[in-house]
Every structure is written in C-alpha cells, then in structure tokens.
C-alpha cells in the first residue's frame, strides 16, 4: 500500500500546521544528504519528505490534495517513484494541482523549478492569395485555405485515449526536471521520462498517436482592401497556429500576389501608362485619349513634348491603402514614327524635311 503524503511525514490527516512543521524538521534532519552522504535511500526519502511538506504546509495545496484524494477513488499515493496523480474529470482542480505539482520538490529543485508551464504564443502562418491587377485596385474578397495544427478532435488535445487522461509524471513528480542535490548545489536536467512536460500519457489517443494535435484545413474569407500591391501583407489576428498552455494564437499573414497589367506599371500609388503620340501632336500640341482604371481621360499634350515626357493625371491612380485618396496616372509620351506613309503624308514630310533638315 503506497503512502500518502501524511504517511511520509508520519502525521495524521488532521495534523495541525505546527505538527506538520515539527515532523518535517525532524525527518529533514534525519535524511538530509549532508548527514547521509552516498545513501541513496536516505536521499530518496529526503525528497519525499520535502515534497510532502511543500504540499501539506500550504493551506491551499493541502486542501486540494485532501479533496483530490477523495475525488478520484484511487487515493493520492507517494510511492518510491513519487506522487502519482490522475487528472481524470477534475476540471479546475487540474489547475490547482498544476500549481501544487509545479512547485513541489523543495530545496532539491530550487535551482530548476519550472512552475506552471509557460504560455506560448502560436506561430504565425503565411499564405499567398492571387489577384488580378483589376481586383487589386477595386478590392476583393478572397477565400484562403490554410492548413493549421489544431487540437485533436478525438482527445480534445490531451493526447490521451478518450476516457483516460495524462497522469503526473512519476519520475519527476510533474516538475519536468530531475534535480540532483549535491550539497549546497542543485543541478537539474529535463526529465527523460516526460521530456519536461510534467505529465505522461499511459494510453495514447489512437487518432493523433498521443500528440494531441491534428492538421486541419480551414478556409478563411479575407477582405482585400482596394489598392493592395504585389507583396502586401494582410494580418489576421489570432487566425494562425493555436497557442500552447493558454498562450494566444498566432496570426495568419496573407500576402497578395498581384498579376501584371498589360496597360499599367505600378509605381507606389501611381500608375504609369504608355501613350502613343503622333509626331505632329507632340510638336504642335493636341489631345490624346489615356486609359485610367475608371475610364478614358482626354489628356492635353503640350506643344513641344519630347518622347518619354511624363504627364500627370491627378487622382486617377491606385487607391491609397490608408483609405484617403488615390495616386496619379502618369502618362508617358511615346512619339510614334510611321512605318509606312501614304502619298499625301510623304509629300508633307518631305516638305518638313526641307525646313528642319
Ligand atoms: Zn488525439
Ligand atoms: Zn517527468
């Protein structure tokens, strides 16, 4: 019959705080490693005494231990391997016990005390969404499939076969570390049995093989603002990988991949468009039609415009992501040289040639 923590200290279940303290002092002196050098049995006993005292000297922990002892029917045990606890159906008590067993171990573990497992934020997940150039200007709604690691639906993420539960690691009493007391110093290493988790799974969940996780395809609908560029990152808070130990979820980062336009070249929020202009119009001035995302605009070409000149059409470019206003359309003058000319054109050009050389 394994001992209870009360048995370890040799006190009754109704012992007062004072009695517990006295019993602890007596036993701690008797089994202290300094006075029992090399005696493994004494060392083991010393640790058990520490463990028992850490729990029973703390009102809340003692209450939880007492309550727990009567709720799972197995009774708390403090065998040679330490305290063996079943978390089944305990709800909040699991938290309290996490508090207890995260802190037991006394001086031997002080160097490497782990406490509650630290909350870890889930990882961010990146994915790409492809857009036509037109949609990048107008805005769009895209369905984005993302493969995420989520809690196993069979075991609810515990990794234990449904109907069973992970148990406190008997090797380290749930501390996740093994502590070796060497006189004044305490060395601690991650527990080899539970790999630092503090709990072990006796019957792993068949669906996830004990990992507690599964890959699941989720589809999110992402609102894409008008004006996104190729490579714009849209962050969806909390839609990334799940956090661990109560940590927040990571984010989903959607990167827009915008197809090239045959008409426009994007430059910041401005759109550059090539505009063919005849030689006479470039020389004398005139009007040409320029495409913009919201329809054709008639643009005045000043006389004497050179090839490559940029003419600005204000406020007709890409919407600014800030939501305020738009960039411009930059019309680049491309002077057209006729490849073939008719009789009339030839006469006129020859006339001109005589004048300008
Ligand atoms: Zn599972
Ligand atoms: Zn362990």
Contact 219, 148 (CB under 8 A): no
Adjacent-strand bridge partners of 256? 129
Helices 92-101, 59-71: inter-axial angle, 10-degree rounding: 130
Q: Where are the alpha helices (DSSP H) in the chain?
A: 5-9, 17-31, 40-56, 59-71, 92-101, 106-109, 133-138, 279-284, 343-356
Distance CA 8, CA 35 (A): 19
User: Which CA distances in Å does 309 have to 141, 303, 305, 313, 337?
Assistant: 37, 12, 7, 13, 16
Which residues, chain by chain, have CB under 5 Å from ion ligand 2? Answer: 169, 171-172, 191, 193-194
**How many angstroms does the Cα of residue 154 sit away from the middle of ligand 1?**
5
**How many angstroms does the Cα of residue 151 sit away from the middle of ligand 1?**
8
**How many angstroms does the Cα of residue 36 sit away from the middle of ligand 1?**
46
Tracing tokens 């709604």 back to the chain, one arrives at 141
Indicate which ligand has the atom closest to the C-alpha of 168: 2
**How many angstroms does the Cα of residue 85 sit away from the middle of ligand 1?**
21
Indicate which ligand has the atom closest to the C-alpha of 195: 2
Token pair in block for residue 181:
């007391």
Indicate which ligand has the atom closest to the C-alpha of 200: 2
Indicate which ligand has the atom closest to the C-alpha of 211: 1
Token pair in block for residue 345:
């054109």
Question: Global pTM?
Answer: 0.54
Q: In what order do the strands lie in the sheet with 264-267?
A: 264-267, 270-278, 329-336, 310-313
**How many angstroms does the Cα of residue 105 sit away from the middle of ligand 2?**
13
**How many angstroms does the Cα of residue 106 sit away from the middle of ligand 2?**
16
**How many angstroms does the Cα of residue 155 sit away from the middle of ligand 2?**
21
Tracing tokens 């196993």 back to the chain, one arrives at 152
Indicate which ligand has the atom closest to the C-alpha of 155: 1
**How many angstroms does the Cα of residue 4 sit away from the middle of ligand 2?**
20
Torsional sign, CA 60, 66, 67, 72 = positive
pLDDT average per 10 residues of sequence, the chain (357 residues)? 79 91 89 81 84 83 68 36 38 42 38 55 93 95 90 84 85 82 71 84 89 88 95 94 84 96 95 95 95 95 95 96 93 93 92 88
**How many angstroms does the Cα of residue 82 sit away from the middle of ligand 2?**
10
C-alpha atoms less than 13 angstroms from C-alpha of 32 in its C-beta half-sphere: 11
Indicate which ligand has the atom closest to the C-alpha of 157: 1
**How many angstroms does the Cα of residue 88 sit away from the middle of ligand 2?**
18
**How many angstroms does the Cα of residue 117 sit away from the middle of ligand 2?**
13
- Centre a 10 Å sphere on the Cβ of residue 7 and count the other Cβ atoms it contains: 16
**How many angstroms does the Cα of residue 200 sit away from the middle of ligand 1?**
14
**How many angstroms does the Cα of residue 190 sit away from the middle of ligand 2?**
8
């Amino acid at each position: 019959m394994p001992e209870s923590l009360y048995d370890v200290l040799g006190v009754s279940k109704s012992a007062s705080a004072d009695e517990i303290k006295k019993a602890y002092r007596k036993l701690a002196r008797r089994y202290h490693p300094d006075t029992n050098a090399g005696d493994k049995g004494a060392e083991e006993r010393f640790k058990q005494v520490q463990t028992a005292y850490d729990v029973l000297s703390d009102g809340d922990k003692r209450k939880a231990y007492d309550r727990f002892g009567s709720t799972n029917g197995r009774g708390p045990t403090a065998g040679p391997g330490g305290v063996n606890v079943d978390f089944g159906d305990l709800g909040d008590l699991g938290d309290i016990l996490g508090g207890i067993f995260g802190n037991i171990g006394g001086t031997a573990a002080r160097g490497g005390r782990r406490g509650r497992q630290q909350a870890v934020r889930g990882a961010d997940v990146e994915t790409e969404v492809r857009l036509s150039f037109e949609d990048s200007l107008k805005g769009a709604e895209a369905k984005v499939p993302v493969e995420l690691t989520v809690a196993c639906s069979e075991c609810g993420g515990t990794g234990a076969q449904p109907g069973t539960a992970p148990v406190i690691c008997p090797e380290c009493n749930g501390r996740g570390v093994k502590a070796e007391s060497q006189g004044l110093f305490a060395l601690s290493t991650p527990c080899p049995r539970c790999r630092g988790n503090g709990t072990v799974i006796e019957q792993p969940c068949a669906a996830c093989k004990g990992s507690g996780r599964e890959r699941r395809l989720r589809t999110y609908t992402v609102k894409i603002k008008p004006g996104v560029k190729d490579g714009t990152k849209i962050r969806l808070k909390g839609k990334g990988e799940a956090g661990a130990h109560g940590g927040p979820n990571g984010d989903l980062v959607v990167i827009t991949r915008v197809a090239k336009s045959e008409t426009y070249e994007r430059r910041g929020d401005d759109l550059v468009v090539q505009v063919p202009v005849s030689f006479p119009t470039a020389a004398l001035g005139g009007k040409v039609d320029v495409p913009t995302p919201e329809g054709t605009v008639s643009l005045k070409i000043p006389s004497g415009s050179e090839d490559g000149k940029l003419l600005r059409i204000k406020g007709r470019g890409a919407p600014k992501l800030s939501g305020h206003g738009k960039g411009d359309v930059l019309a680049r003058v491309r002077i057209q040289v006729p490849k073939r000319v008719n009789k009339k054109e030839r006469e006129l050009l020859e006339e001109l040639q005589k004048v300008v050389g």
